[in-house]
C-alpha cells in the first residue's frame, strides 16, 4: 500500500502534516508493507500556491498512491480522489508518522469536506467538517462531520 501525506516540510516521517492538501509544499509518500513503513520519499508539490481544480489529485494518482491523508480538503477534491481510486482521509494532525500510524490502526478514517468548502458551495451538502483555520495558525477540529471523518476515539471501559 502506498500512502501520500500532505506535509508542511520535507523531513520525511518527522514532517508536520499540512492542514490542507492543495496548499502544502510537499507530500511524503510512504510505502507500507505488513502494516509498517518500508520506504519513505518526499516529493515537492508542483502545484503549490497555484493549482487548478483536479491538478493535485491527478498528481497524487501519478505517484501511485492508494490513500491521501491530510488535515482537510474540499468536497470536490474528495470526489476527484475517489474517481482516481484513492481513499481520501482528513482530520490528520501531528507528524506524518503519527498520521500513518493512526490510519493503519484504524483510528483515522474517512473524509469530510472542510467548512470553507461547504460555505463556498464546493461541498456535497455535508453539514459540518474541518476548517481552514489551521492555514492561519489555528487548529482543525477533526471528527465534526457526519461521523465518517476525522480521528475516531475508542472508548475505554
CATH number, domain containing residue 23: 3.30.420.130
Instruction: Tell me how many domains the chain contains.
Output: 1
- H or E element, residue 59: helix 55-62
Mean pLDDT of 6-15: 97
- The DSSP 8-state label assigned to residue 145 in this structure reads S
Mean pLDDT of 111-137: 42
* Paired strand residues for 73: none
Residue-wise pLDDT tens digits, 77-115:
999 999 999 999 999 999 999 999 999 999 999 997 655
Q: Which three cell numbers stand for residue 28?
A: 511524503
In a domain, 148, yes or no: no
Nearest alpha-carbon partner for 129 in 142, 119, 120, 138: 142
Q: Which domain holds residue 45?
A: 2-109
In a domain, 144, yes or no: no
Residue 54, Ramachandran bin (φ over 0: left; ψ between -120 and 50: alpha; else beta): left
Q: Residue 124 above 70 pLDDT?
A: no
Amino acid at each position: 500500500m502506498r500512502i501520500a501525506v500532505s506535509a508542511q516540510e520535507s523531513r520525511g516521517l518527522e514532517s508536520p502534516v499540512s492542514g490542507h492538501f492543495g496548499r502544502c509544499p510537499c507530500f511524503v509518500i510512504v510505502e507500507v508493507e505488513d502494516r509498517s513503513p518500508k520506504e519513505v520519499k518526499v516529493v515537492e508539490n508542483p502545484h503549490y500556491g497555484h493549482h487548478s481544480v483536479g491538478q493535485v489529485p491527478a498528481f497524487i494518482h501519478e505517484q501511485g498512491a492508494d490513500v491521501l491523508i491530510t488535515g482537510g480538503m474540499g468536497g470536490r477534491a474528495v470526489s476527484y480522489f475517489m474517481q482516481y481510486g484513492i481513499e481520501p482521509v482528513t482530520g490528520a494532525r501531528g507528524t506524518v508518522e503519527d498520521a500513518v500510524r493512526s490510519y493503519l490502526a484504524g483510528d483515522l478514517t474517512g473524509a469530510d469536506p472542510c467548512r470553507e468548502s461547504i460555505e463556498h458551495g464546493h461541498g456535497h451538502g455535508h453539514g459540518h467538517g474541518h476548517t481552514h483555520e489551521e492555514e492561519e495558525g489555528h487548529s482543525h477540529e477533526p471528527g465534526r462531520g457526519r461521523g465518517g471523518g476525522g480521528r475516531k476515539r475508542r472508548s475505554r471501559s
